[in-house]
Structure 1
Amino acid sequence: MKIITLLLTAATLMVSSSLCQAQKSTPVQKVFDGWSAKETLDYIRTFSVSDLTTGKPAALWYHSHASQTNKTAILLRRQPIMKLPTARLPEIGKISVETDLGRMTLNDYLNHPKSFAQGFIVVHKGRVAYESYPGMHELDAHFWASTTKVLASMVVGLLIDDGLIDESRTLGYYIPEFKGSAWEHIKVVDAMDMAAGLDARDSAEQFADPSSVTSRMFRAELGEETNGKIEYMLEVMVDAKSVEKPGQSYIYSSATTQSLVFLVEAVSGKSWSDFFEDRVWSKMGVEGPLQMHLSPDGIAIVHGPASSNLRDLARVGILYTPSWRKVSTERIVSPAMLDRIQNTPRTRDFYLGGNAGSGQRFMARLGEEAVRTAARQWDAIFEDGDFFKSGLNTQGLYVSPDRDLVIAFFSTEPTHRIQKYLRPIVTSGLFD
């Protein structure tokens, strides 16, 4: 079953997904109407990456049914639910921006038949200021796509705080399987910041080339053959080649995120899912489980496939704010971890340099020039210290620690136009 290539969670680079493709998508009302037994079985048996990246009807189904096509580790709630109180700010819904659908308010956009928005939440000081579910039930588990990548950096950050990882050391120092490969001499900090300098990058060219490390890795995660042989993720990754000095420029790469999974497992001695459950999810007062979707050989695919309800994604964002006590029994994101994000030494030249073009794409989607750089698996770090992560088909998590503000959203729409609302909401004066 061709599914995990949601890995094209490189979402970032699916610029070829046009608005006209999005307009052919199934209206999100289908979520409420439901799928027949035949439709469900057909999707389980035939789901493909093209269904996901072009917004075909199967994408809407997959976003809430990924566990029916992927092996999945279920991370259960261990704490009593820590409910998020409400303090509604109806002014949020009245904020308007210009999109390719015309100028419209957030309220109108979310309910527009061509927005394909499914859920949108704004949480200020641990209280829900705005919440809308135009295309999903509020407790549905929904696919995070590349938004999952920030979990990889969070877990490595915990091990750095524990003194078990020195980010100035190389991946080869910690991961024996990387010895003798191009990964061996890449520093942990460069992997954290998407600066591995390897040819394993997320790009249309790599996806189209069946011999590329990126394409082979995705097929390995699907259990599909390459040249008549089923490969494993790790054995594919070690074939990556260096194309520039590590740390030189920002190169968006799902393979680089996966290197952090092997790092955590090598250092902790636990599977990534078990470690994350022990150190993060089990401490949180979430409303539901976290579904970590796995490769056929049981590796957590942290560069993309995870699923939860929307409020629990927002709770992950709240861990980075002063209101963390409202969602967790202990502080998970330390001041040092937050400082490494907000005050990263990575520059704007780093973000916009190189030939990958990742930084330019992120800024264009956000419609915002105040992006300073990217680091720690976050797509954009703003001049005011805010940061944001996006995922394929328009999933996202925006965190403003200084404003104690979090925005999270789910969608089935490939153009990412909803991102244009983020900075206008944040800088509206409602949260100053």
Structure 2
Amino acid sequence: MTSLLPRAPIRDDGRHREAGSRAGDLTLDNWQDAPHNRWAFAHVAELVPTAPIAHRPAVESAREVVGLEAMRSSMPDLPTRLEESYTDALVVVRDGELVAEHYREGFGPDGLHLLMSVSKSLCGLTIGTLVDEGVIDPDRRVDHYVPALAGSAYGDAKVQQVLDMTVDVDYDEDYRNPASEVQAQDRVAGWRTRLPGDPADTYAFLAALRGGGEHGVRFRYCSAGTDVLAWIVESVTGTRYADAVSERLWSRLGCRNDARITIDPGGFGFANGGISCTARDLSRVGVLMLGDGVIDGRRVVSAEWVRRTIEGGDPDAAAGSVFQRVHPGGAYSNQWWITGSDRGDFYAVGIHGQFIWVDPATRSVVVKFSSWPEPVTEGWNRLHAELFRDICDAVG
């Protein structure tokens, strides 16, 4: 059973601190584990095939690292807290302006880092642009858009139920269990060594998933659902998922760099966790959400979609979850986590400590890349909620 508290640091032998060189014993089956993940999360394209998510060249501005000076007086313990939480990068934006940032040794502003499930929230926004245009109806069944999923766990689910992860599906999300569906999906995606009998690609994997219960009743976190959404995107746009994200989101954000996404043998982009980008570029997503779908005067997604995301989700569906032990009254909506707190903060998160934290109360966005030794624990999530709120208050 996974501990509910962060484990003691594993840096004592110095291996986890080594960020600039590849460990000699790194393999396809251990690159997600500490201490290898510190190097691997910043070099995914050297381990797994990837495709670009192209940006549109932005107006150049100063690239110097801003540093943490804006928060040192009110948060003198911040460097220690960042070190103890395995931070690879931290970017803080207030009212659309970069006010503080920090990078571990060997990593910097132009470094791409794996987002893990923060990728899901980018998919939610991409879907939102298609809903805005009337191309996707959230109340339609999945198999209306992807007939190949008829008979699967997702075929008779509504698109909105997939967005909110209330689909009943037989899927074990235990990242440490070799027999789990999430590890099987990793193998299909090229993230682990394939085993005999594994589906040929993600399309085949998704079509083989089964359920049987009632949809829309209970929150059930399942990474496969995001890839179902990506398949819908491909079906309605007639383009690869990476190209759709580029056209509809990344190229409209004013990003400085291309993002990248891992691809499986069928060319399918691993939408649920495979995107890598820079911390500064990722902060643009948070700025977009604070701007009700507008950034630098450009409308990317409707204010209605952003509002429905922030105010949506069913807290009762998530009752009893680990998430609600950290955020009582919280909910999951359109692939984003809504805390339900008085300050109205919400976030995107990926295992091993990747975050976009959005705090409307202070008009702040915090992006953090990490290489936690554990995929996820209640303790790590609680610690980071406190950290991000302290940071937002320090710059507010």
Q: Taking structure 1 as the reference length, what is the TM-score of the superposition?
A: 0.80
Deviations 1:385-432 (A, max 9, x none): 321111121110011345432110111113634443012333x3753x
Secondary structure (helix, strand or coil) at the match of 2:317 reads helix
Tell me what 1:69 maps to. Answer: 47
2:18 alignment partner, one of 25, 30, 42: 30
**Of 82, 94, 109, the match for 2:81:** 109
Look up the match of 1:235: 204
Decide whether the 8 Å contact of 1:126 with 1:323 is kept in 2: no
Residues 285 and 329, structure 1, Cα contact 8 Å, conserved in 2: no
Does the 8 Å CA contact 1:283/1:329 hold for their aligned counterparts? Answer: no
Aligned counterpart, 1:351: 318
Mapping for residues 61-140 of structure 1, pairs under 5 Å: 61-81=39-59, 83=61, 90=69, 92-94=71-73, 105-110=77-82, 112=83, 114-135=84-105, 136-140=107-111
Match for residue 214 of structure 1 among 167, 182, 190: 182
Give the Å deviation of 1:25. 7.8
Say if 2:353 is the partner of 1:394.
Answer: yes
- Native 8 Å contact 1:122 1:408 kept in 2: yes
- Whose helix proportion is higher, 1 or 2? 1
Query: Contact (CA 8 Å) 1:290, 1:306: kept in 2 or not?
Result: yes
Aligned counterpart, 1:340: 308
Letter in 1 for 2:177: A
Counterpart AA for 1:80 = A
1:241 alignment partner, SS class: coil
Following superposition, the deviation at residue 255 of structure 1 comes to 0.5
Q: 2:276 aligns with which of 285, 303, 307?
A: 307
Identify if the C-alpha distance between structure 1 residues 167 and 395 changes in structure 2 by more than 3 Å, giving closer, same or farther: same
Count of residue correspondences: 385
SS at 1:320's partner residue? Answer: helix
For 1:89 and 1:154, how far apart are their aligned partners in 2? Answer: 30
Query: 1:121·1:132 contact (CA, 8 Å) conserved in 2?
Result: yes
Q: 1:100 corresponds to which residue?
A: none
Q: Residues 11 and 17 of structure 2 are in contact (CA less than 8 Å); yes or no, is this contact kept in structure 1? A: no
Counterpart for residue 139 of structure 2: 168
Segments of structure 2 that go 5 or more residues without pairing to the other structure are none
- The amino acid of 2:41's aligned partner reads H
> What whole-Å deviation, never above 9, does each CA across 1:213-242 have from its counterpart, x for those lacking one?
433322211274444455322222222222
How many Å separate the matches in 1 of 2:365 and 2:60?
16
What do you get for the CA RMSD once the two structures are aligned?
3.0
Aligned partner of residue 145 in structure 1, secondary structure: coil
Distance in 1 (alpha carbons) for counterparts of 2:48 and 2:211: 31
Question: Is the counterpart of residue 376 in structure 1 residue 334 in structure 2?
Answer: yes
Q: Tell me, yes or no, if the aligned pair for 2:259 and 2:275 is still in contact at 8 Å.
A: yes
Following superposition, the deviation at residue 133 of structure 1 comes to 1.4
Shift of 1:147: 0.9
In structure 2, what is the Cα distance between the partners aligned to 1:84 and 1:319?
Answer: 21
**1:145-170 CA distance string (max 9 Å, x none):** 11111011111111100001110111
Task: Give the whole-Å Cα distance in 2 for the aligned partners of 1:243 and 1:423.
Answer: 41
Q: Which residue of 2 aligns with 1:254?
A: 223
1:425 maps to which residue?
391
Contact 2:66 2:101 (8 Å CA) reproduced: no
Once residues 420 and 402 of structure 1 are traced to their aligned partners in structure 2, the CA distance between those partners, rounded to angstroms, is 15
Kept in 1: contact 2:123–2:245 (CA 8 A): no
Q: Residues 68 and 102 of structure 2 are in contact (CA less than 8 Å); yes or no, is this contact kept in structure 1?
A: no
Given that 1:167 and 1:187 are in contact with CA atoms closer than 8 Å, whether structure 2 keeps it comes out as yes
Give 1:331 deviation, angstroms.
Answer: 1.4
Q: Indicate if the aligned counterparts of 2:292 and 2:307 stay in contact, CA closer than 8 A.
A: no
Q: Distance in 2 between matches of 1:17 and 1:237?
A: 33
Aligned-pair CA distance for 1:82: 5.8
Question: Which stretch of the first structure deviates more once superposed, 283-292 or 154-163?
Answer: 283-292
Q: Is 1:297 aligned with 2:266? A: yes
Query: 1:167-211 CA deviation, whole Å, 9 max, x = no partner?
Result: 01110111111112221110000000111111124135xx6263x
The alpha-carbon deviation at position 27 of structure 1 amounts to 5.6
Segments of structure 1 that go 5 or more residues without pairing to the other structure are 1-12, 97-103
Distance of aligned partners of 1:252 and 1:229 in 2 relative to their CA distance in 1, 3 Å threshold: closer
Distance, in Å, in 2 between the alignment partners of 1:76 and 1:115 is 31
Structure 2 match to 1:275: 244
Match of 2:121 in 1: 150
Q: Is the 8 Å Cα contact of residues 195 and 249 (structure 1) preserved in structure 2?
A: yes
What is the distance in 1 between the residues matched to 2:66 and 2:112? Answer: 24
How far apart in 2 are the matches of 1:275 and 1:306? 13
Pairwise CA distance, 1:272: 0.7
Counterpart in the other structure of 2:7: 19
Work out whether 1:406 is the aligned partner of 2:365: yes
Cα deviation digits, residues 343-384 of structure 1 (max 9, x gap): 21x33221225xxx3524xx43xxx54x53121111333334
Deviation at 1:259, TM superposition (A): 0.7
TM-superposed deviation, 1:23? 3.9
Q: Which residue type is aligned with residue 225 of structure 2?
A: T
Provide the secondary structure at the position in 1 that maps to 2:330: strand
Q: What is the percent sequence identity of the aligned residues? A: 23
SS of the residue corresponding to residue 157 of structure 2 reads coil
Aligned residue runs from structure 1 range 185-204, under 5 A: 185-203=156-174
The answer on whether the counterparts of 2:162 and 2:229 sit within 8 Å (CA) in structure 1 is yes
Residues 35 and 174 (structure 1), Cα distance of their counterparts in 2 relative to 1, 3 Å cut? same
Structure 1 177/94 Cα, relative in aligned 2: closer, same or farther at 3 Å? farther
Q: Which of residues 299, 307, 318 in structure 2 aligns to 1:331?
A: 299
SS of aligned partner of 1:35: coil
